[in-house]
Structure 1
Amino acid sequence: MHPSPEPADRLLALGHQLIEIHLWLREELARLRESLDPGADPDRGALRSLRAHCLTFCAALTRHHTGEDAGAFRVLAEEAPELRPVLDELARDHRIVDGIVRRVEELVADPPGGDPAATDRVRAELDGLGALLGSHFTYEERKLVGALDALRGRAGDTEKLFGVAPPAW
């Protein structure tokens, strides 16, 4: 369990807060994906739980990327214009991720139930999402953490910049 940093600490280490958010999103996606593994309980309660967890994860991921586009990326484009090509590339990734998230939401709106092909489609979309997010998060962290830490809180808090607050661990 990680200690919850004081608000001033959060403002001094924005890049590290981004990493914490990415770790949390990776863990949530892994849990969601595991719920579809063979042997997972396919009863109605489990399907409702899958749908709720999926929609919660998808909403958090969308909030995070929307928040970055409107918050951190806008601020970094002003403060570090040399990062604009990187920010544009990351924003393009966000649009691709959004398309996958929409497909996943459509698939779980009509839960797979006992249909193995439907479960396989959800699993395949989540696997693709996981692969894309893995490379996206790694690239984003490598390119932006230092620039975010250099802001030292001038640009606002983590929720304003990243769309979600870091987990309380």
Structure 2
Amino acid sequence: MATSHPQMSMNKTIHRAVRRDLVRFRQALDAFVDGDRERAAALHRAWENFDAQLTDHHEGEHAVAWPALDAVGVTRSTLETFDAEHEAMAADLATARDAMARLSSSASRSDADDAAAALGRLQRTTVTHLDHEEAETEGLLTQRAGDPAMKTMSARFSRRSSPAKAGTFFAWVQDGASAEERTALRANVPAPVLTVLGGLFGRRYRREVAPVWHGSSGA
């Protein structure tokens, strides 16, 4: 009997969530109204979540994913290139972090413009890396999902997260996900984990961050 492989890796599912938030921020900053302190504070809440998710993802890749990918045949030079791309992304993330903090404090249109420019640079750097990483690794991650190195990687990622952290992550990665992405998530994560962690421990995300994009004050 042929072995069934997930149609999309967990890694790519996370990348899709990163891409969604980058687009959301660009749109929200373009539409920002000078002096709207409530909106500035809301965007900063969403930013703090995004910043934490992207930082945790790229740091986790270096510590956990790269050894597994090395074990299944990704070259050392490719992994080194990924790390260089991560460094460029982290630098742009820091710049955007500062810009979003200034906007949160001032709620000014000029700081929204600065933040939009910083997010534009971050989006270009990040999407360039995500495209490259997916081109090099997506086939391996789906076709060799049952490999011992891949199972060890998944277990190590699970141990990095508390229930609260995991719940926020699962709520975030599903927020705005397509049917394809939700199917992939269910193929990669046991249903009880999604139900308990994403449902119970994802409540804070749904209460404090999701309305920034979907509520009455959302873009």
> Are positions 1:59 and 2:70 aligned together?
no
Could you tell me which amino acid in structure 2 is paired with residue 56 of structure 1? N
Partner of 2:186: none
Pairing 1:106-121 to 2, within 5 Å after superposition:
106-111=98-103, 113-121=106-114
Pairing 1:10-159 to 2, within 5 Å after superposition:
12-13=5-6, 16-38=9-31, 40=33, 42-80=35-73, 82-111=74-103, 113-153=106-146, 154=148, 155-156=150-151, 157=154
Shift of 1:83: 2.0
CA contact 1:16–1:145 (8 Å) conserved in 2: yes
Please provide the CA RMSD for this pair.
2.8
3-state DSSP of counterpart to 1:94: helix
In structure 2, distance between residues paired with 1:42 and 1:64:
33
Indicate how the Cα distance of structure 1 residues 118 and 109 shifts in structure 2: closer, same or farther if over 3 A, else same: same
In structure 1, distance between residues paired with 2:68 and 2:120:
32
Consecutive unaligned residues of structure 2, counting only runs of 5 or more, are: 178-219
In structure 2, distance between residues paired with 1:66 and 1:17:
16
What percentage of aligned pairs have identical amino acids? 23
In structure 1, distance between residues paired with 2:117 and 2:30:
11
Task: Give the TM-score of the pair, scaled to structure 2.
Answer: 0.63
Shift of 1:26: 0.4
CA contact 1:15–1:144 (8 Å) conserved in 2: no
Indicate how the Cα distance of structure 1 residues 149 and 114 shifts in structure 2: closer, same or farther if over 3 A, else same: closer
In structure 2, distance between residues paired with 1:53 and 1:102:
16
Partner of 1:160: 157
Indicate how the Cα distance of structure 1 residues 62 and 52 shifts in structure 2: closer, same or farther if over 3 A, else same: same
Shift of 1:100: 1.1
Superposed CA deviations along residues 68-94 of structure 1, whole A, max 9, x for unmatched, are 1111112111331x5221111111111
Indicate how the Cα distance of structure 1 residues 72 and 39 shifts in structure 2: closer, same or farther if over 3 A, else same: closer
CA contact 2:37–2:107 (8 Å) conserved in 1: no
Q: Would you say how many aligned residue pairs link Structure 1 and Structure 2?
A: 158
Indicate how the Cα distance of structure 1 residues 143 and 15 shifts in structure 2: closer, same or farther if over 3 A, else same: farther
Task: Tell me: higher relative CO, structure 1 or 2? Use CA pairs within 8 A at least 6 residues apart.
Answer: 1
Consecutive unaligned residues of structure 1, counting only runs of 5 or more, are: 1-8
Task: Give the TM-score of the pair, scaled to structure 1.
Answer: 0.79
